[in-house]
Amino acid sequence: MKNRLVILLIGFALGFFLTRIEAPANGYTIEKSFSNSFPTRIIIPSVSIDTSVKKALIINGYWQVFSDSAAWGDQSGIPGRIGNQVIFAHKRSGLFLPLTDIQIGAKVYVLTNEKSYAYEVKEIKDVKPFQIEVVAPTSDETLTLYTCTGFGDIERLIVVAKKI
């Protein structure tokens, strides 16, 4: 229950940082919309990953996970903007199984309906499922990929990439 609460709180915090409110000169408040800016595809040529990405909502304290595509946490960062965009998938063929072979320096391409963004892998590590700080907001444009790893998939493989 404690983990669910922490995940829910991080989700709300990410949502707060990603919803930008501006007050124009006329005094009216408008909310910027990023509805077409979320990832729709991820390509990692060095490990032969090329898969679609769907928006994952937080349901009962957990992000949705899909069996047929990767998922982008809808409360995480948006490509091309400051923040930590989080994309995750099952460790299966056609999804993130090859992610276990990724190397520092590998190029990662994230596509949206509007354009594509290039990233370079800077860090690879294994963490426990409760180490949710890996999805926390960042002060730069960061891409965090994760999938299950370890014996019985009891750990999480985290791949951190930075915009190039």
Q: For 50-105, how does the pLDDT look when each residue is reduced to its tens digit (9 = 90+)?
A: 999 999 998 998 889 999 999 999 889 999 999 999 999 999 999 999 999 999 99
Cβ pair 120, 162 in contact under 8 A: yes
Paired strand residues for 44: 49
pLDDT tens, position by position, 97-138: 999 999 999 999 999 999 999 999 999 999 998 998 999 999
DSSP per-residue letters across 85-105: EEEE--SSTTTTGGGGG--TT
Task: State the CATH class of domain 2-163.
Answer: mainly beta
Identify the residue with better confidence: 30 or 72.
72
Q: How confident is the model at residue 27 (pLDDT cuts 50, 70, 90)?
A: very low
- Copy the structure tokens of residue 24: 């124009």
